[in-house]
Amino acid sequence: MNKNIVKKSSLKILICIVLYIILVMCTLFIDSKGGMIIHIGKGSIANNSFNGVINALQVLICVILVCIDYKKGFIVSCVLYGITFALMFRTIIRLHVLTPFVGMSHVFISIVTLAILSRFFWQRDKALITDALTQLINRRGMLRVLSQKCCEKDTFDIVYVDIDDFKFINDNLGHENGDYILKTIAKRLALLVDDKGFACRIGGDEFMLIVPAKDDKKAFMNEIINAVAAKIEIVNDDSSRDIYVTTSVGMVRYPEHGNDADSLLKYADLAMFHAKKEGKNKGQIFDDSLAKEMIRKSELEVIIKESLDKDYFFLVYQPQFEINNKKLRGFETLIRLKTPDGNMISPGEFIPVAEDSNLITRIDEYVMKRALREFKKLVKNRKESIVLSINMSTKDICMTGFSKKVEEALLEADFPPECLEIEITEYCFAHAIDIAAANIEALKKLGIKIALDDFGTGFASLSYLTKLPIDLLKIDKSFVDNIETDIKSRDFASAVVSIGRVQGCEIISEGVENENQLSVLQEVGCDFVQGYVWGKPLSYEKAIEFCNAN
C-alpha cells in the first residue's frame, strides 16, 4: 500500500516539475521576443504582466510541491528556483540590465516562505507521529516506518515488547506512577536502539523496536527484558519505593518471516503472546511452529462456531466419590467435540482457543443449559442429593450480570440450585476481582456451590480463598500424579486439606488414577476423589445408569 503512496506522490512531484519547466520555457520564449508588448492573435499583453502571471504560477507550483511532501517538495522547489535564479543572472550578464533583480528578490522571498511552510508541516507531522507521554514514535509513526522499511531491501528485526500485568500496576500504584514507569521504560528502550533503529510506543503498555537485523536475536531480547526489569524508583513527596516490572517480548525478522507490515506485526504479536503464555518475563522468536499454531487456532475458531451452530458438541459426566466409602457425590460435566468427519477434538485443545476469543461464553452457556436439562429429572427423582458440577470460564465469572444468567438458566430448566456447583479457576481474577466476587456472592445466595478448580497451579490461591466464599477446593491433577513418590506433592495435598479446614471448604482430588494415590489422599484427609481409578467420564445415558446402580 505504501509503495502506491510513494509512487503517487513521486508522480505528482514529476508533474509539478514538468509544469514548472514549461513556465520557465515560456519566460525564455517571451524574453527572446524582446520588446515590452506581446501580441496574441488580435490582442496584446504587456511583457511584465505576462511574467507576473508566470511567477505567480511558479510560486503556486512550489507551494503545491511542499504540500505534497514537505521535505522532497522543498528540495525540488529550491532546485527549480535555483534554475530560475541562474537564468535571471544570465539575463543580467547578457543584456546588461538590472530588471531581473526584482525577480531575484522575489525568488529569495519565495524560498524563505516555502521554508517556513515546510517547517510548519514538519512540526505538524512530528506531533502526529510522536507519543505525547514518552516522546517515542507512536503507532501511526511505527506503521509509517514499517511500511517504508518494507519497501527497502535491508533486513531488519521487529521486537514487540509488552509489559506484564500493567493494569495491575496502574490499579495499585495509580495512573501518575504508572505514567512515570512507562516513561522510564521508554527511555531505557530508546537507549537500546542506535541511529538506524526506531523505538515506538504503540499502545498503553506496548512498545515496539525496529532495528537493523541483529546477529544474536536472543541476546538482544535479553537486553530488553533486563532493561525493563531493572529497578524503577518512584519518589513521592515524603516516601520512595522501588518497583520491579517484567515484560514479554516477541521478535520477527523481515523478510524471513514476512514481507509486509501486516504480517510482521501479526507474527510479532503472536510471538509475544506466546512468551506471555509461557509464564511472562520471557522472549520468543517467531518460527514456523508458531505460524502453524496460529493457523490451527483460526481453524479451531471456525470449527467451534460451526459446532455451536450445528450442535456438534456433547457432554460427558465424570463421577466424584466420597473417599472413605466410595459413595457417589455427583458428576463433573465435561464437554466433548466430534466433527462430522468423526474427528474428536479434545477440550484441552479447543477450550484455550475459545478462551482467547469470546466463544467461551457461548460454549459455557451451551453446557449449562444442556447439562441442567439433561440432569433435571435425575436430580429431582433421586432421594439422596447429588451435585452436578459445571466448569465456567474466568471470563464469565468476571462479567457483570453472569449470576443473573445462571439464575435464569436454573429457572428455565427448573433445576434445584443446591444441586448445582460451579467450578472456577483463579487465573486472571485480579483484573476484575470485584465483579467476580459480586457474581460469586450472588450465586451463593441462590444456593449454588462454588469449587475452586486446579488449586495450587495459580499464584494467588490463598488471597482469593480468604476473599471468596468457596465450598470446595480441587487439588490439581499435577500434584496427584506424583503423590506416591514425591514428598512435596504429598505435603502440598496435606497443606491444602489444612487450609480447607481453616476456611471451611471441602477438598476433592482430581485425576486420581490408582489405589496408591487414593490411599495417600485418604491419609492426608482429602474428602472426595475424581479420577479414572473409580470412574471415567460417561455419556449421559451411562451416567444415569451408573447413578441408578449406586
Give residues in contact with ligand C2E (CB under 6 A). Answer: 318, 333-335, 346-348, 351, 364, 367, 391-393, 453-454, 477, 510-513, 531-532, 537
Answer with the entry of ligand C2E, Ca ion, none that 537 interacts with (C-beta below 5 to 8 A by kind).
ligand C2E
Residue 520 Cβ vs ligand C2E, minimum distance, rounded to whole Å: 15
Secondary structure class of 241 (helix, strand, coil) = strand
Residue 474 Cβ vs Ca ion, minimum distance, rounded to whole Å: 6
Residue 426 binds Ca ion (CB under 5 A): no
Answer with the entry of Ca ion, ligand C2E, none that 347 interacts with (C-beta below 5 to 8 A by kind).
ligand C2E
Residue from 69, 454, 471, 527 that binds Ca ion (CB under 5 A)? 454
Answer with the entry of Ca ion, ligand C2E, none that 120 interacts with (C-beta below 5 to 8 A by kind).
none
Sign of CA dihedral 425, 429, 430, 434: negative
80 and 64 in contact (C-beta within 8 Å)? no
Residue from 110, 134, 320, 391 that binds Ca ion (CB under 5 A)? 391
Secondary structure class of 34 (helix, strand, coil) = coil
Residue 364 Cβ vs ligand C2E, minimum distance, rounded to whole Å: 5
SS3 letters for 392-437? CCHHHHCCCCHHHHHHHHHHHHCCCHHHEEEEECCCCHHHHHHHHH
Residue 466 Cβ vs ligand C2E, minimum distance, rounded to whole Å: 23
For cell 445466595, the residue is 445
Q: How many CB atoms lie within 10 A of CB 34?
A: 8
Helix (H) or strand (E) holding 121: helix 100-128
DSSP code of 538?
Answer: B
Binding residues for Ca ion, total number by CB under 5 A: 4
Task: Give 347 or 458: the residue with its C-beta nearer to ligand C2E.
Answer: 347
Task: Give 103 or 531: the residue with its C-beta nearer to ligand C2E.
Answer: 531
157 and 220 in contact (C-beta within 8 Å)? yes
Answer with the entry of Ca ion, ligand C2E, none that 431 interacts with (C-beta below 5 to 8 A by kind).
none
Backbone angles phi, psi at 83, to 5 degrees: -65, -45
Assigned C-alpha cell, 424 = 472456577
Tell me the H-state helices in 230-358.
261-277, 288-310, 347-356
Answer with the entry of ligand C2E, Ca ion, none that 367 interacts with (C-beta below 5 to 8 A by kind).
ligand C2E
Residue 455 Cβ vs ligand C2E, minimum distance, rounded to whole Å: 10
Task: Give 269 or 332: the residue with its C-beta nearer to ligand C2E.
Answer: 332
Task: Give 457 or 494: the residue with its C-beta nearer to ligand C2E.
Answer: 457
Length of the chain in residues, anyone?
550
Distance CA(117)–CA(106), nearest Å, equals: 16
Which residues 6+ apart lie within 8 Å of 367 measured at CB? Answer: 313, 315, 333, 335, 390, 391
Residue 318 binds Ca ion (CB under 5 A): no
Residue 453 binds Ca ion (CB under 5 A): yes
Residue 291 Cβ vs ligand C2E, minimum distance, rounded to whole Å: 25
Residue 208 Cβ vs Ca ion, minimum distance, rounded to whole Å: 37
Residue 421 binds Ca ion (CB under 5 A): no
**Range in contact with Ca ion (rule: CB under 5 A) among 42-50, 310-318, 362-370, 420-428:** 420-428
Helix (H) or strand (E) holding 26: helix 2-33
Quote the Cα angle for 467-392-365, to 5°: 135
Secondary structure class of 301 (helix, strand, coil) = helix
529 and 509 in contact (C-beta within 8 Å)? yes
Answer with the entry of ligand C2E, Ca ion, none that 118 interacts with (C-beta below 5 to 8 A by kind).
none
Residue 131 Cβ vs ligand C2E, minimum distance, rounded to whole Å: 38
Answer with the entry of ligand C2E, Ca ion, none that 532 interacts with (C-beta below 5 to 8 A by kind).
ligand C2E
Task: Give 248 or 439: the residue with its C-beta nearer to Ca ion.
Answer: 439
Binding site for Ca ion (CB under 5 A): 391, 423, 453-454
